[in-house]
Each structure stands twice: as structure tokens, then as C-alpha cells.
Amino acid sequence: MKIFYSDNHRRHHPPFEVFDGGKRVPYLENPDRMDQILKALQKTDWSELTPPLDFGLDPIYAVHDKDYIAFLASAWTKWLDSDPEVAASPEQNAFLPATFALRKTSHIPATLLGKAGYYMTDLSACIVEATYTAAVTSTNCALSAADFVFRNRQSAFGLCRPPGHHAGKDFAGGYCFINNASVAANWLSSKGRVAILDIDYHAGNGTQDIFYKRSDVLTISIHGDPYYEYPHFAGFADETGADAGLGFHKNFPLPKGTGNKEYLFALDEALGLIKKFSPAYLVISAGMDTFDGDPLGKFKITREGFNEIGKRIAALQLPTTIIMEGGYANEALGVNIVTLLENFK
């Protein structure tokens, strides 16, 4: 299987994130995640690591707002220029907003700090010097996988970091800056109908935002109920799309403690909807944080569960672009993603 990967993510390693209630903790979405996955892939005889192609910014602008992307590109240097204390010790710092617009504003702010409060939804999508380059490269991995799937009618894996599914048209959040799966899906949508199935533990609120009014891309997310879980403000069952997209978004919010059996029940319903939609391409937002033992998740999916999830999705026999999202039980992450991928080789 073709696996598109670049080392460019490594220097995107913020020294902290701000957790529930304001606790400062080490950045959970760290480069070690990729090392664990690479190690597990190297033990297989079917993984073919390939550097991504450069698709330029147009496929990104087709999904994201230009001013938002410009903000991501310039935030770090602007911050350093504006604050000598930060410039003196950049490695101890990470750029985050201290105010939040809540979109109750008639103007997009003009200043760096104003834009931060407008474009950033939480305190986990920290920006450091290498963030923008890492995010663009991550998206190129997703696009390269989609391009390979399009040309070869075979599944491929975008080993993306940073992840993307919490990034909306014009917002960052949840470790995500550019929505890799959405950029890839939108690129594929000019070739045929696309379905996105998001199996990350957290609701794919960014993907939901991007395709909410579209009927040519079906979006489905299976996740911890936002009633108790991040992202708290989206991912509810009654959010089903709007305008032309009404009926083309589906959320499966599930309770704490969800295990293999209950999960697979929801998955089967999701797969039924995808069959009915009859897409030409399938994109999977593959988060492994549903794992029993993930520090951010409250589900109990086992390795056997991931194998069965992979088997059932692969049974759709669609050209499938698999995109890496979350998963923070680093010691198990490699084996878990390999177990899922094995069904698509």
C-alpha cells in the first residue's frame, strides 16, 4: 500500500497545550505518534512509504478562506516581531488567542490578536514556527493519497500530521489547522461523488462545517456525544445538513463506554447510508482515539474492533483514501492503525 508521509511535521511540536479548565500540559499531538506508526509499518511487508507531491495552495483555497490561511502562514513571525520577550525564547512559546470572538462580530479583526480570537476555537491548536509548513505538507500527503487513488483505483494512506478534521472553512481547533480529509475529498469531488466517513473519537466538526450545504459530498461522523465530549458545540444527531446539503450530513453521537459491539452497530448504519449514496470515492478520517486506553477517549474499541471496522469499510469495495487523524495512546497507535489498514491492501 502507498503511504504518503513527510518528516516536515517534526518541528511542529508546541511545548504545551491548555487543557480542560485551563491546565497547561505537554502537547499530546506529538511527533512520537508518527514514530510509533512508522515503526509498526516497517514491520509489515506491504507498506510503501512515499514522499508527497506539491499541489500548491489552490486545492486548499478551494476549501478554506484565504484570509484564514494567510493568518496561519504569518501568525508566528508577526507574534515574534511584536513581542521581544517571545523572540528571546521562541522554543518556550506557542501562539494562542487570549480572547474569543464567538463569531458575534460584524468585522473580521485586522490585528494579529483579533484574528487569533476570530480564527481559533480553542487552546490546543498552538502555532509555532514550523506549524504552517507542517500543515501544508500534511495536506499534500492527503492530496497525494487521493491522487493515487484516483489514478489507480486502489486504496492509499495519507499519514498526515498535524491532523485536520476539526479545522473548518475559516477556523483552527483540536490540533487541526488545514482540513486534510476535506481538501482531498473536495479535490476528488470534481471527478465523482464522494463520501467522507469520520471514525475519529471526536466529532469531525470542521468537515461538517465545510460540506454542510453540499449534496455532492456525503459526510458522516461516529463519535463521543458532544453532550459530554469535545468539540462540545457540534456533532449532535439533529445536525443533518442545510440548504442543498440537507440530508447529506449524519452524526452518530455515542455514549461513554461504547465498545466494539455498539460501535459496529452504528458503523453498519453508516455504511448503509454510504451504499445508498453510491459514491465514486470514499475518504476515511481515521482517528484511533476510540481505542480502549486512549488518554483523550472514553470508548473501548480493541485491536480486534479495529480489524472488524476495517473489514466492514473495505467490504464496500470503493476506491478509498485513508487519512490519519487523532490517536494518543502512542504505544498502541502503530499496531492499531496497521490493523485497520491491513484490510485495504
Binding site for ligand SP5 (CB under 6 A): 20, 124, 163, 166, 174-176, 200, 202, 230, 287, 289, 296, 325-326
Member of 29, 209, 239, 289 binding Zn ion (CB under 5 A): 289
200 binds Zn ion (CB under 5 A): yes
What length does the chain have?
A: 345
Q: Which of residues 303-342 bind Zn ion (CB under 5 A)?
A: 326
Q: φ and ψ at 322, to 5 degrees?
A: -100, 125
Q: Which does 175 bind (CB under 5 to 8 A by kind): Zn ion, ligand SP5, none?
A: ligand SP5
Residue type, 307: N
Instruction: Give CA 237 to chain center in angstroms.
Output: 20
Smallest gap from Cβ 276 to Zn ion, in A, equals: 27
Q: How many C-alpha atoms does 288 have within 13 Å on its Cβ side?
A: 31
165 catalytic? Reply is: no
Smallest gap from Cβ 329 to ligand SP5, in A, equals: 12
Active-site entry in 64, 166, 202, 223: 166
Question: Do residues 310 and 284 touch, judged by C-beta distance below 8 A?
Answer: no
201 binds Zn ion (CB under 5 A): yes
287 binds Zn ion (CB under 5 A): yes
Smallest gap from Cβ 222 to Zn ion, in A, equals: 12
Q: How many C-alpha atoms does 303 have within 13 Å on its Cβ side?
A: 10
Return the number of the residue (122 or 200) whose C-beta is nearest Zn ion: 200
Q: Which does 310 bind (CB under 5 to 8 A by kind): ligand SP5, Zn ion, none?
A: none
Smallest gap from Cβ 110 to Zn ion, in A, equals: 33
Residue 154 CB partners (closer than 8 Å, separation 6+): 2, 148, 319
Residue 284 CB partners (closer than 8 Å, separation 6+): 181, 196, 197, 198, 199, 313, 320, 321, 322, 323
* Nearest residue to 285 via CA among 215, 187, 183: 183
Return the number of the residue (200 or 209) whose C-beta is nearest Zn ion: 200
Question: Do residues 274 and 195 touch, judged by C-beta distance below 8 A?
Answer: yes
Q: Which of residues 23-82 bind Zn ion (CB under 5 A)?
A: none
**Piece of the chain touching Zn ion by CB under 5 A; list 6-14, 92-100, 195-203, 208-216:** 195-203
Smallest gap from Cβ 201 to ligand SP5, in A, equals: 7
Question: Do residues 245 and 212 touch, judged by C-beta distance below 8 A?
Answer: yes
Where on the chain is the footprint of Zn ion (CB under 5 A)? 200-202, 287, 289, 326
Residues with a known catalytic role: 166
